[in-house]
Amino acid sequence: MNIVVLVKQVPGTDNVKMDPVTGVMIRSGKDTIINPLDENALAEAIRIKNSHENVKVTAVSMGPESAMKAIKEAIAMGADGGVLISGRAFAGSDTIATAKAIAAAIRKVGDVDLILCGERATDGETGQTGAMIAYYLGIPVETYVSGVEVKEGGVIVKRTVEGGFERVEIPFPVMATVNKDINEPGFPTLKGKLKAKETAVPVYGPAELGLEPAELGLKGSPTRVVKVFSPKLSRDTIMKKADGTTGPVEEMMKFLAGKEAI
């Protein structure tokens, strides 16, 4: 059984720096981590590998050369190998253009039964790429997955939906985007780290993936960012200071009653 896990490199801190002129995020490549939900996807793949025979896990990432770090980390945590999609032509890709490129790379891995990735990435936060990749591969997708049970020839997934869960049975090949409830991600092992060092990871550009320049980057992206701005906050706040008495709380009660909020 072949599993592909998608790992995206994202900024590791809350304090993302913005270019004050262009409003574009400054990606230094230094303080980066694997998208946290992708780590859950990876942990799930490794769990399946450890509990079934003949499972191979391949980590796929798209990004600058530095995203190689994410793949090596995935191998250190237990993946068997990886593929990096990289090149200037991919810069500025929106979710559609990204999905096309990743789908092409997965096709190149070949014979994939299960694809796992995080339900969304902490930087873009669109949660669209997984489903779009499934479409380009011509396979079904399940989203918000918080449980995967491998059966003969397929899986039963548990999806988190409003107010509860759904269970859906689905044959291979299938794409599942996972959420945080699925497991606790593990850590790299020493053995894994050594393996990561030794494992050669191919880097594919547009030519290797058989993609036309018109499908890539900004050219291949239907959406355009027209402007970026800071969110405006502010309400007319009534402020009170706690003083050991019930005064402020009583005033709050009056205020809420006046607003018909209680």
Partner 1 sequence: MSTYVNANVEKEQKLSQYKGVLVFGEQKDGKILTVTYELLTRGRKLADDLGCELSCVLLGDEIEGLEEVVKRGADKVFFIKDAVLKNFLPRPYSKAITKLCEELKPEVIVAAATTTGRTVMPLVAAMLETGLTADCTELTIDADTRLLLQTRPAIGGNIMATIKTPDHRPQMATVRPKSAKPAAFDAARTGEVIVKEYEGATFFTPEKFLEYIKDTTQEVSIEEADVIVAGGKGMKNADGFRMVEELARILGAGVGATRDAVELGWTTYPHQIGLSGKTVAPKLYFAFGLSGKIQHLAGMQTSEVVVAVNKDPEAQIFKVADFGIVGDVFEVVPMMIEAFKNLKANA
Q: Which residues bind ligand FAD (CB under 6 A)?
A: 14, 122
Tell me which residues in 72-131 interact with partner 1 (CB under 8 A). Answer: 94-96, 99, 120, 122-131
Q: Smallest Cα–Cα separation from 58: which of 5, 130, 104?
A: 5
| Distance separating alpha carbons of residues 99 and 16, to the nearest angstrom | 25
Look-up: residue for tokens 């869960």?
Answer: 165
Q: Residue 66's binding partner, choosing from ligand FAD, partner 1, none, with beta-carbon cut-off 5 to 8 A by kind?
A: none
Q: Residue from 140, 186, 188, 205 that binds partner 1 (CB under 8 A)?
A: 140
Give the nearest distance from C-beta 197 to partner 1 in angstroms. 31
Size of the site for partner 1 (CB under 8 A): 79
Q: Smallest Cα–Cα separation from 11: which of 70, 84, 95, 71?
A: 70
Q: How far is CA 218 from CA 70, 129, 260, in A?
A: 24, 16, 50
Residue 205 binds partner 1, judged by CB under 8 A:
no
Contact in structure between 130 and 102 (CB atoms under 8 Å): no
Q: Which residue is nearest to ligand FAD (CB)?
A: 122
Give the nearest distance from C-beta 120 to ligand FAD in angstroms. 10
| Distance separating alpha carbons of residues 210 and 110, to the nearest angstrom | 15
The conformation of residue 213, written as its DSSP 8-state character, comes to G
Give the nearest distance from C-beta 111 to partner 1 in angstroms. 18
Q: Residue 244's binding partner, choosing from ligand FAD, partner 1, none, with beta-carbon cut-off 5 to 8 A by kind?
A: partner 1
Q: Smallest Cα–Cα separation from 208: which of 79, 84, 68, 26?
A: 84
Residue 208 binds partner 1, judged by CB under 8 A:
no
Q: Residue 140's binding partner, choosing from partner 1, ligand FAD, none, with beta-carbon cut-off 5 to 8 A by kind?
A: partner 1
Residue 51 binds partner 1, judged by CB under 8 A:
no
Query: Which residues, 6 or more positions from 239, have their beta carbon under 8 angstroms from its beta carbon?
Result: none
Closer residue to partner 1, CB minimum distance, 135 or 193: 135
Tokens matching residue 120: 């969304």
Tell me which residues in 209-248 interact with partner 1 (CB under 8 A). Answer: 221-231, 233-242, 244, 246, 248
